[in-house]
Structure 1
Amino acid sequence: VTTDDGSYGQKGFVTQVLKELLDKDKLIKKVWTIGPAIMMKVTCETTKPYQAETIVSLNSIMVDGTGMCGSCRVTIGGETKFVCTDGPEFNGQLVDWTEFMNRLSRYKDSEKKSWDLYHEHTHVCSCERGTS
């Protein structure tokens, strides 16, 4: 476990510790990574020279869960896949990360608007307001 600030586990980025582990143990042939897209992308870049298969769990936008809407479409090894039906786990070395991250940011404005509306109209229990 690593944290940027060292509040839990080792201080540093996950890729720093991963590289140290890969340098020490040449028998590591498979890595799983789950987290922000940029972290998974950099993890794949880190494992590539070691020829360690890297499985990622993609967290794309999913609307209907059937692949019909196409919002979770991703290119894997030059082929179109749907995270909701073909994944969410894929070989990270084959993911078109630029496309994937662009798709993730496509709905940012709508997500922010929904978040703001939710907080504007959400009831706050009086017990959470504190007492005076």
Structure 2
Amino acid sequence: LQQQNHVQEQSALEYITNGRRRLIGRLQNLPLIVENLFQRKVLHEEEVSQIQAEVDRFDQTRKILDWVSARGEAACYELLTILDITKKRTLGDADLQFRNEGTFSYTPLVLDTDVHSS
């Protein structure tokens, strides 16, 4: 038997799903994340209001992750891109490499999710 050594690739949705517990515990500066998701049309005004109405930061984070995940791959990609761009303010000392059963890393720029046609 020949063993193959390779990095396991994940979609953005899988990455959010697999890293959910860590994201809930580590995301900071939620207003910045929510504003960016709103500007990128991932979240609607009503959803932003519902997130802001939550008192608990963890509940706010759960709502964000639930809505983004429900919107699929492109929305998850947008969230990961936002986190990558704003990581000093939104992730602190944490990074976007989650280690669960295997080694996972995510590079947001790998995916082409441009849905705008010229």
TM-score, normalised with respect to structure 2:
0.31
- Which has a greater percent of helix? 2
- Which has a greater percent of strand? 1
Structure with greater contact order relative to length (CA < 8 Å, sep ≥ 6): 2
Question: Which has the higher Rg, Structure 1 or Structure 2?
Answer: 1
TM-score, normalised with respect to structure 1:
0.29
